[in-house]
Structure 1
């Protein structure tokens, strides 16, 4: 009975539009709401902007690895995840910080791995930085087609690394903007 109750509770959470549950996973199959995953990413990014000291774990606070993996492998939404992060980042930053600071690209010497110990290879890091800077300097949001040539040769683990890197690049830029402007 307890397992049935847990499954019922998970189903109720999943269909509740006000609940952040984005998937139900029985170990073999996953029922996923990609829009909820994207909403959860946005909410985590907004929380980070409101309190830079908020500890955020991708796996625990944003999206489960199985959700992200399913979006990339089965739904081929790796580019969607990337453009969502960078477009959301610019929307959040532009609302609170001076435009001349927001639109400055990450400098050539910027290396996320020196700030946050993430398991990123050079290719994934450089690609994430390129995407982040592409959106930072663009006048409009990126769309998936803007990343098609970059993503076509990437495997699932690399696409997941790029997503993680973009999320944390946003966090480091928000931290730098807060430090530079004094905006809490």
Structure 2
């Protein structure tokens, strides 16, 4: 028998749970709503979520993943509106190169996407404008040709003229270009 009876812990409300998840380094939550049209975003977690999804795609090309498995539209737009979109774009291509370089022959990994490459023909559901598609292809190829990781300053020429909506689309295109190239590398090499 105990002198003190333990009080049952009341179930946490959604806001408390969301805050705990956001603060938990091992949880994938990257944002919580803060009012009607505001959001608190943990940009580092968004980057980690993209890395995790990209690694998962390399391990199993048939896994049904998309950009939404890494970040919501609102999270990506929030990062862009914070002026960190170029960091996200370079993170995507740097992570892509790191993953591809670890498993596939360098001569294939470093082959740039050719001028006639059009992701929209391979994935008709994607509706990028020509400018958005070409901007993504240029950034992807810039990293493919570079000896070291890109940083945000390396893509300013391509990135600066883009609107916020264009930047979201370019990040989406970069993610899909990575998946498309991983699929091609697996097919060409037979590496599962």
TM-score, normalization by structure 1: 0.95
From 70, 73, 78, the counterpart of 1:65: 73
The structure with the greater share of residues assigned to helix is 1
Q: Distance in 2 between matches of 1:14 and 1:94?
A: 32
- Structure 2: any 5+ residue segments left out of the alignment? 1-9
Q: Say how many residue pairs are matched.
A: 181
Q: Distance in 2 between matches of 1:6 and 1:24?
A: 10
Secondary structure at the counterpart of residue 41 of structure 1: helix
Deviations 1:49-96 (Å, cap 9, x if unpaired)? Answer: 00000111212x1101111111001x1111111100000000000000
**1:168 partnered with 2:170:** no
- Structure 1: any 5+ residue segments left out of the alignment? none
Aligned pairs (5 A) from 1:1-184 = 5-26=13-34, 27-59=36-68, 61-73=69-81, 75-116=82-123, 117-184=125-192
Q: CA deviation at 1:4?
A: 6.3
Deviations 1:7-62 (Å, cap 9, x if unpaired)? Answer: 11111111110000000014322111000000000000000000000111212x11
8 Å CA contact retained: 2:21, 2:29: yes
- CA RMSD of superposed structures (Å): 1.4
